[in-house]
A and B are shown apart, each in its own frame.
Chain A
């Protein structure tokens, strides 16, 4: 036990840096592990937004960050669903909400009842049976309701700059030591990081180095075997632009994601403004053109500058090498679609904590971490890729190319099996459960040819009752949920009380 890893240096910037440092400090700081954060200059702009799916609440709990404080500081608005429009010609928009899975041992999933209804000519969209989608449309937050059969979760859209400052202050409070000096040199010894030399002349050594520096991977990219396996063929947007738009009142509880001829533009409501992100392919639209047409695409007034950056999409062949562990975008580059960025960081940290090294000189944990993270990354990529692969914007070169392109095998299986059976094959390390996948795939236009035969055993009246019951349950549950205003007001009040 005397050879345990007792010093950790986290190199990185912005939310991933502070999340990683805070998580380790909070769990292990009082057990003799010292955590040092080496802060690289922020790349955040005031326009930036962190859009986070519901797992963010678990993350806040893990690092001990009060939820209401985060909501207040980051001007957060609950995120109940994503709404996709213009991805499929003239088809109506669809929602992907965060419905909770049915309790174990219950009936087959509701998507099968929907699929059967569709075959019999019934009209409802799958989202009509989704509590989350209904809540999102009626601007209600699906907080936990005692005794309700159905339940859904929600995440947040968070203003990136204040949220990051809050995380930093929180990490500080927890006891993380912060080094803000620039890095002069990174000393590597074969497949290990030996030390980080700062411009102050300080030499930082540690048993374990965490790379939370984003796509650049300042540490991990120095080590052999960390090369990026590109996902460009499946995630077609190579640039993104962020901007700030006028607030929408009251703020919608969903992110609005609209496709246009060379990519998509997303509106992420915050309390005092609307963050705008567009992702696009630079071969199909120029930087000048996108920044100029952004207000038109977003359909809201844009305030100030639009900032363009590159998107690196891919997976490092190894994310944990020697004594260096890459987390978040340092390990895996994604598209901003479906708000998976913070989730990715969170997932990496969770795996790291479960595999936290027990010895400072041997890291067999890496052999587990690497395939787990690769699989998690693949599943995240597939969620995003599904949107591109299933687009129905015909006669636009960008969309035609990615519709016709063969998706990764892991995704192809999901698309095919869902089309044939209404079941979605799930792998280990899935961020989405069957509900989200079904919402995504049915929304994008797949009507399954079959559904689970088990539901046909019951007489037709039972099926009809079941469907009607579901609609009734939703109709009763949603109006009892707080509106965004009520939710935020309550959050502020609770925060006051806590103070």
Chain B
């Protein structure tokens, strides 16, 4: 019907190769041809070592074998993120990849937990989340989705070497017909009248024509930002961190099935366990410290010896006001930046791709396709933004300037209202689109010390004795089931060693 759409992806790295592998797998070659331009001279950022559970979905969709991926990327498994010293010094909680209570508990679980609390049961809400309990005990196993038991109430992500992951995607993409061209862009040719991008001129002089361009050029945002001049919306007044040092260190003896995030004097530190090393970093704000002090702080805080010198990254929180302009879509860092506090970078690439595929301009360019894409992406970005700001804002720390600033800053109204209503009646807004759902908001609110003064009166249905007995039963069931799981280290070792781990039966994993 139409000629195949010529898609040019500018930039390799995680975003570029996810786009290439995703498009070549999801869209018939009759409909589009995909070419990726990258230069080995330009390094990739590749900080995105911690992922979210959605990534498994992406890999399954494009047919990337999980066992192979885990083996090659030296991945470990992740059940959530542990936040230390965020709400107040000495505090610690886990944001789980899972729900609270039973699979059938629904959105009212925390209301009932609050009722029990009001009745004198001072229970840690974390004890009611399977993912949290397993994470605390360093256990891991795949969820058991055959029935709706407590071990079906969680999902998992990976800690992985992002550059190896990109390499895996590249292998897959190239084997399916994506053409890779080595080179740097020297010039961009636009249509005189419409301003749409027509070609990229490489330093070699080669001209690459395209119908549709995907800008994965990283922070430079060469096409969407520099060429099409799409303005930047700055969020640094809410998310003040603008630098990060990253450094690998030797692997720890015990692999935690969670990422650690520790709030410190001018930002926060991450710790991500891989099979063969530990990824560490310090995200900080130059408004509150300097680079030298930050590097020292990071190195002094390592719990295993450093394997390299710290590498500095500069960034600003925010996004382009639109991510699709004319015939160009930006993915990854070219589209915007949110610090890795909740491991959202790879997710944002993935969700953008999944929104892009159904809207690809296969029957001709139409601004309304771009408009719908931008609406969806902005909803994603804005809701994640609010969730990240919550971590900074909901704090009682007054030992450092950054925390005093964040506690007192004026946050977006959308967040202010959410917090107020949760504090008032434990209500959590639910929405159709957007990454973080009820359990995520709940984990951070409670974990950082916002305990509602009241709960929905509907939770008062049923006798208190029965409520307490029921909650105790769930808690004990979770605890018992978690005790049957193998340790995370052992699971990883065994899973990576097996030739055909997909034949692993749930019973066998209980070593």
User: Counting CB contacts under 8 A, is B417 at the interface?
Assistant: yes
In the assembled complex, the CB of B322 is this many whole angstroms from the nearest CB of chain A, namely: 15
Residues of chain B from 404 to 452 with CB closer than 8 A to chain A in the complex: 417, 420-421, 424-425, 427, 429, 431-433
Which residue, A28, A368, A449, A453, has most C-beta atoms of chain B within 10 A?
A: A453
Q: Which residues of A contact B363 (CB under 8 A)?
A: 420, 449-450
The reply to whether the CB of A227 lies closer than 8 angstroms to some CB of chain B is no
**Which residues of chain A (329-370) have a CB below 8 Å from chain B?**
353-359, 362, 364-365, 367-368
B43 proximity list for chain A (CB < 8 A): none
Question: C-beta contact mask, A396-430 vs B, less than 8 Å → 1, else 0?
Answer: 00000000000000000100110011010111101
Contact of B118 with A1 in the complex, beta carbons under 8 Å: yes
B206 contacts chain A at the CB level, 8 A cutoff: no
For window 37-91 of A, CB contacts with B under 8 Å fall at none
Looking at chain A, what size class is its interface with the partner chain?
Answer: 35 or more
**CB of A122 within 8 A of chain B?**
no
Q: A362-B424, A365-B421 are in contact. Are A356 and B358 (CB under 8 A)?
A: no
Are B421 and A27 in touch, CB under 8 angstroms? no
Residue A283 CB within 8 A of the other chain = no
Q: Is A452 an interface residue (CB 8 A)?
A: yes
Q: A456–B424 contact, CB under 8 A?
A: no
Give CA–CA (A425, B376) in the complex, Å.
Answer: 9
**Closest CB in chain B relative to A1 CB, distance in Å:** 6
B148 interface contact, C-beta 8 A = no
* A454 interfacial contact with B, CB 8 Å: yes
Q: Does B466 contact A (CB under 8 A)?
A: no
B427, A456: Cβ atoms under 8 Å?
Answer: no
B1-60 contacts to A (CB < 8 Å): 1, 25-28, 30-32
Count of chain B residues with a beta carbon within 8 Å of a chain A beta carbon? 40
Residue of chain A at shortest CB distance from B369: A420
Residues of A within 8 A of B369 (CB): 417, 420-421
B420 proximity list for chain A (CB < 8 A): 364, 367
**Is B303 in the interface zone, CB < 8 Å from A?**
no
Task: Assess whether B498 is interfacial by the CB under 8 Å rule.
Answer: no
Q: A362-B424, A428-B431, A453-B31 are in contact. Are A33 and B457 (CB under 8 A)?
A: yes
Asked if A28 and B28 sit within 8 Å, CB to CB, the answer is no
Q: Which of B118-158 contact A (CB under 8 A)?
A: 118
Cβ-defined contact, B457 with A4, below 8 A: yes
Residues of A with C-beta under 8 A to B469: none
B417 near A367 (CB under 8 angstroms)? yes
B454–A359 touching, CB < 8 Å? yes
| List of B residues within 8 angstroms of A425 by Cβ | 372, 375-376
Identify which of residues 438-493 in chain B touch chain A, using a CB-to-CB cut-off of 8 Å: 453-458, 460-461
**A contacts with B: majority SS:** loop
Report chain A residues within 8 Å CB of B461. 27, 31
A421 in contact with B421 (CB, 8 Å): no
Q: Which residues of B contact A365 (CB under 8 A)?
A: 421, 424-425, 427
Interface centre among A1, A362, A420 (most CB of B within 10 A): A420
Task: For A6, give the chain B residue with the smallest CB separation.
Answer: B457
How many Å lie between the Cα of A362 and that of B26 in the bound state?
52
Residues of A within 8 A of B417 (CB): 364, 367-368
Q: Which of B307-360 contact A (CB under 8 A)?
A: 357-360
B421 lies within 8 A of A364 (CB)? yes
Docked complex: B342-397 residues within 8 A CB-CB of A: 357-360, 362-363, 366, 368-369, 371-372, 375-376
* Cα(A421)–Cα(B28), bound, Å: 16
Q: Which of A447-475 contact B (CB under 8 A)?
A: 449-450, 452-454, 456-457
Give the distance in Å from the alpha carbon of A194 to the alpha carbon of B106 in the complex: 37
A-B pairs with the 6 shortest C-beta distances? A358-B454, A456-B28, A358-B425, A453-B27, A450-B363, A416-B368
Identify 11 new A-B residue pairs, CB closer than 8 A, beyond the known A358-B453, A454-B358. A4-B454, A4-B457, A358-B457, A365-B421, A367-B417, A367-B421, A421-B359, A425-B372, A428-B432, A453-B362, A457-B27
> Can you list 16 A-B contacts with CB-CB less than 8 angstroms, sorted by A residue number?
A358-B456, A364-B425, A365-B421, A367-B417, A367-B420, A420-B368, A421-B358, A423-B358, A425-B372, A425-B375, A427-B432, A428-B432, A453-B28, A453-B357, A454-B26, A454-B358
Binding site for A on B (CB under 8 A): 1, 25-28, 30-32, 118, 357-360, 362-363, 366, 368-369, 371-372, 375-376, 417, 420-421, 424-425, 427, 429, 431-433, 453-458, 460-461
